[in-house]
A = this chain, B = another copy of it.
Amino acid sequence: MAPIRLAIVGLGKIARDQHLGAIEATDGIELVAVASRHARLDGVACFHEIGDLLDSDVEIDAVSLCTPPQGRFSQAKAALDAGKHVMLEKPPGATLSEVYALEALARRKGLTLFSTWHSRAAAAVEPARALLAKRKIRSVAVEWKEDVRHWHPGQAWIWEPGGLGVFDPGINALSIVTRILPEEFHLTRSELTFPANRAAPIAASLVFETDGGVPVSAEFDWRQTGPQTWDIRVETDEGSVVLTHGGSRLFVNGESVIVEEDKEYRNLYRDFVALVMKGAIDTDFSPLVHVADAFMLGRRIQTAAFED
């Protein structure tokens, strides 16, 4: 079968840091075009807007959207309307209503829509899920603390409504927890800390419980300098199950079980190729549902202005 002819829309930091290399390393898919307002890429057809690309005679089968979530709906809709499969960076959109609409549209058109969660593709996630399915869980504690200045230098959109602030990394943790726990959970308390000069939170303190009553806590903070923390600690009746380094390392009862280099985006593109081959959809929006809940139920705390 001929490889999937892919276009990337949005050639920013995440596309260059992760997508280009992962596409290159994945069988069954090849990059043939880019749509970017400011950037160009040698060796492929370049356009300013997805509309120009779709109107052109460059033939593509699929698009991968790497633009910020605000405004992504119209790009995804244009691609689906034109009969193209769509892969969405996380978060899949700026609102739940729009991502539900995209899912319905993809189903009507018989196209693949893949709402990706790159942290779910980390090495320790599926082993942790298998392990936890066999244990009785007592508590879950998430600590996701990083330095926004290091990871999101000058990304103004992330502080705007729809950019989600500290939930941009925090949703990665939620994408892992929603995958590894055998039960659903829901929020019971949310405190959101906003810099005085920003529309999005810089920290969040969340309390959930599973439908069966197990406590789940999450602390997200963007003000951590020095060592960074992306840990999920699950206490069970047979000891602890701990994911660190964003899900790439697994410790069971204190013992290191998995240490793997990052292959998240290669796994995502491998999965996208498989979904397109099968004509399937993969749209679990539950991490974004939890984020929307955190805003709706959130108590606001104001803190000092933040400058990049």
Q: Which residues of A contact B (CB under 8 A)?
A: 73, 77, 94-98, 100-101, 104-105, 161-162, 164, 184-187, 189-190, 194, 199, 211, 286, 289-293, 295-300
Contacts and interface: CB of A to CB of B under 8 A. Distances in A.
30 contacts: A73-B186, A77-B211, A95-B186, A95-B296, A95-B297, A96-B96, A96-B289, A96-B292, A96-B293, A96-B296, A97-B184, A97-B185, A97-B186, A97-B187, A100-B184, A101-B184, A101-B186, A101-B211, A105-B211, A161-B189, A162-B296, A162-B297, A194-B300, A199-B299, A291-B296, A292-B292, A292-B293, A292-B295, A295-B296, A296-B296
A239 B145 CA distance: 55
A105 B212 CA distance: 12
Given A97-B185, A161-B298, A194-B300, 16 more contacts: A95-B186, A95-B293, A96-B96, A96-B289, A97-B289, A97-B293, A98-B186, A98-B187, A100-B184, A101-B184, A101-B186, A161-B189, A161-B297, A292-B295, A295-B295, A295-B298
Contact of A104 (B95, B98, B101, B184): B184
A228 B127 CA distance: 58
